[in-house]
Structure 1
Amino acid sequence: MTEHNGRTSEPILDPDLEIVDSHHHLFDRPTGRYMFEDYLADASAGHNIASSVYVETQAMARTYGPAQLRAIGEVEFANGVAAMSDSGGYGPCRVSAAIVGYADLTVGESVGEFLDLALSTAPDRFRGVRQILIDHPSEAPYRYITHRPPSGLIRRPGLVSGLRELGKRELTFDAAVLHHQLPELSRLADSVPETTMVLNHLGLAIAMETNAEESHAIFRCWRDSLHDLARRPNVVCKIGGLGLPFWGFGLESRDSKAGSDELAEIWRPYVETAVEAFGAHRCMMESNFPPDARSCGFVPLWNALKSVTEAFSASERTALFSRTARRVYRIPSVGQADVRGHRGRGSGSPPALIL
């Protein structure tokens, strides 16, 4: 394997399999840059990425106006990227076909003002909100989070009211939590059955700085909590984020990035557990790029996910790689996309942002 533009070159597995990348970011910060042309370069490296879902990082927020509405700048930015992509001048991949923005849902019913503004700003693409709820007693995970959430955010009284405002508008909630918070997320899902929740990154079984015995115990706790969460019909699961340091795999600290065979071996128990818990029709694959670029290239990442699921039925694989994301985020199909051969600038070094 060779390295070029931060991506590991491998033969593409199942190159015709259509993919809707259900989670990626775009931003330009002093700590890192990953913009439209960078994602295009990764998405055109050989896999058939038909569409993508833009997920917030609180980038491009306005610097003026009421604080509660400033995040509309990111929705405007993502919608502009999507308009550029829809022009067809940058290849057939529809980048940011759905937009998940940021809002502080703990303000309760008053978040409706922002949601209505976002819907009027991007009526064809705004599909929901993500507010990171990660909470941990140690400082370890916060080294990799750009915007540290307040402690106890998942228990704020106004959060349930804010989530209900999403449900009223048929908008989704992307939930970023750690594995020990999954029971709290289950209770939250029970309180707002009308709101679809999208679990980010499989619920992040945090096993950083643990020994083998501790890591196995964490896996069992994560597995059991994930199965319990999956009993809530209003929750779906994103499979990805496995390149993040939280899992304790240690891939991000190596001199060379892992290839797809190694990734598939490490990731298989987590992917199979999620599909077993939720079923393929409630799971969707994500690249989580560029944060996952700390551990692997874009091509090996998708090769690994394809390899792990190669024994699944055709219907299950279609659900995992495109159909679930299209349904949950209401992404229309624009024909069989094939972005292979289109060239972009390529991604650089992975940025500080890790979610």
Structure 2
Amino acid sequence: MPDDSIDAVLKAHPSVRHDWLALRSEDLLDPELAIVDPHHHLWDHPGDRYLANEAIADFTSGHNIISTVHVQCRSMYREHGPEPLKPVGETEFVRELAAATNTAHAPLRLCAGIIGTVDLQLGDDVQPVLDAHTDAGAGQFKGIRPTVVWHESRDILPVSNPEGLLRAKSTRAAIARVQKMGLTLDLWAFFTQLGDVADLCRDHPDLIVIINHTGGPLGIGPYKDKRAEVFEEWRARVQELAALPNTVMKLGGLAMRYAGFGFHERPLPPSSDELVHAWEPYMRLCIELFGAERCMFESNFPVDKAMCSYSVLWNAYKKIAADLTAAERLNLFSGTAARTYRLDTPQVLRSA
């Protein structure tokens, strides 16, 4: 996806409306439960700012967020220098922002992990970019999330990557470099692409692959009003992924426009019960297939903030996991994320 097309993707998402979100408030559930939020973004787009102040306001709004992972979002790139190295600017910016922020907001560790991006079409030439990210991250750089999401329908994606990018020889060569360095690979892909994701995971069994956003079920464009059919196809592809031991599932991202729940079109923001009703079938199936030790809840803020507040979101997750064991809940809310991203968190989290 060309960098100059990212504006089209951003404009396709609904906007965050703070006055609308304020119409819904709930008592916090289990406010002492330690949470690692393994997926959020920081950016400063025209009319859409979400940097340290905005993020911390959400992370300290009541739930016990102890650590977070920043995932690339095409923000703060270097303005000059070789094109392949420009994304390193995002890692530099996030690491510097975290260093300037964390002392004042202990015990929260903002951006304890940083996930950057690279151009997979570089093939073996991706190595200098990975090295630069690692140096820039100063111990916080944990892996990459390349842009691979694709769909032929422009109702779903206004712009898109080349079809079959995950199958390309250059991609596989780049991924081999990622694996050799012991980094993780995050992938945001729609459910229609999960066959390619599974093939990649099989070909790189020593690489930890984190599937973003509950495996990308779709409910818009050609999939509108076809939720039952999509669910069955999504289920089969997720089951194939779950059988591969090097895969991890992030549970979240269903408040994006792609899933088609349309909460932002309602007069009132959704309650946590409404979110549970919509999302529980997907998330509980993933927990059943992958096991809690290979699943983690994510916020995907501020993208998902267009449809629900941070406090209501985590209330919903706590309700979805309410009948699970203490060990399973520990994994879902902190342990899996801490282990997967090798975060410097208390030993109890890493040993969950």
Normalised TM-score (structure 1): 0.89
Q: Comparing 124-133 with 252-261, which one deviates more in the overlay?
A: 252-261
| TM-aligned CA deviation for residue 214 of structure 1 | 2.2
Alignment deviations for residues 114-140 of structure 1 (CA, whole Å, 9 cap, x no partner): 111111121310000001211112112
Aligned pairs for 1:65-144 (under 5 A) are: 65-87=81-103, 89-143=104-158
Counterpart among 259, 275, 282 of residue 263 in structure 1: 275
The answer to whether the 8 A contact 1:164-1:194 is kept is no
- Is residue 2:64 matched to residue 1:48? yes
Q: Which moved more, 1:290-299 or 1:200-209?
A: 200-209
Distance in 1 separating the partners of 2:160 and 2:49: 20
Number of residue equivalences: 332
Query: 1:38 is matched with which residue?
Result: 54
| Matched-pair identity in % | 36
- Matched residue of 2:145: which SS? strand
2-structure distance, mates of 1:195, 1:327: 14
Q: Distance in 2 between matches of 1:21 and 1:69?
A: 27
1:336 deviates by 9.9
Instruction: Report which stretch shifted further, 53-62 or 116-125.
Output: 116-125
Task: Tell me if structure 2 keeps the 8 A contact 1:72–1:118.
Answer: yes
Question: How many Å separate the matches in 1 of 2:71 and 2:280?
Answer: 25
Tell me how far apart the structure 2 counterparts of residues 120 and 210 of structure 1 sit (CA, whole Å): 44
1:192-245 C-alpha deviation (Å, 9 max, x unpaired): 112111000011111214678621010000011101111111110100001011
Superposed displacement of residue 251, structure 1: 1.2
- Report matched runs for 1:1-355 at 5 Å: 8-87=24-103, 89-143=104-158, 148-209=160-221, 214-333=226-345
Match of 2:6 in 1: none
Take 1:230 and 1:224, find their aligned partners in 2: how far apart are those partners?
A: 10
Q: TM-score, normalised by structure 2?
A: 0.90
Question: AA paired with 1:263?
Answer: L
Counterpart secondary structure, 1:267:
helix
In structure 2, C-alpha distance between the alignment counterparts of 1:71 and 1:92, rounded to whole Å: 29
The answer to whether the 8 A contact 1:206-1:247 is kept is yes
Could you give the per-residue CA deviations for residues 154-183 of structure 1, whole angstroms, max 9, x where no partner exists?
Answer: 222211111111111110110010001111
CA distance in 2, matches of 1:124, 1:217: 44
The answer to whether the Cα contact below 8 Å between 1:244 and 1:292 also exists between their aligned partners in 2 is: yes
Q: Using a 3 Å threshold, how does the CA distance of structure 1 residues 8 and 114 change in structure 2: closer, same or farther?
A: farther
Higher relative contact order (CA 8 A, sep 6+): 1
- Asked whether the 8 Å contact 1:8–1:299 carries over to 2, the reply is no
Over aligned residues, Cα RMSD in angstroms?
Answer: 2.0
Residues 164, 336 of structure 1: alpha-carbon distance in 2 compared, 3 angstrom cutoff: closer
Amino acid at match of 1:130: R
**Match of 2:4?**
none
- Counterpart position of 1:340: none
One-letter code aligned to 1:308: I
What runs of 5+ residues in structure 2 fail to find an aligned partner? Answer: 1-17
Per-residue Cα deviation, 1:231-281 (whole angstroms, up to 9, x for no partner): 111110100001011112121322321011111111110110110111000
Looking at structure 2, the residues matched to 211 and 106 of structure 1 have their Cα atoms a distance apart, in angstroms, of 30
CA distance in 1, matches of 2:43, 2:191: 27
Cα shift readout 1:141-161 (whole Å, capped 9, x = no counterpart)? 214xxx743333222221111
Q: Using the alignment, how far apart are the partners of 2:146 and 2:24 within structure 1?
A: 32
Specify every segment of 5 or more residues in structure 1 that has no aligned partner in the other structure, as ranges: 338-355
Looking at structure 2, the residues matched to 283 and 93 of structure 1 have their Cα atoms a distance apart, in angstroms, of: 22
For 2:327, the aligned partner's letter is S
1:344 equivalent in structure 2: none
Structure 1 residues 150 and 296, CA, compared in 2 at 3 Å: closer, same or farther?
Answer: same
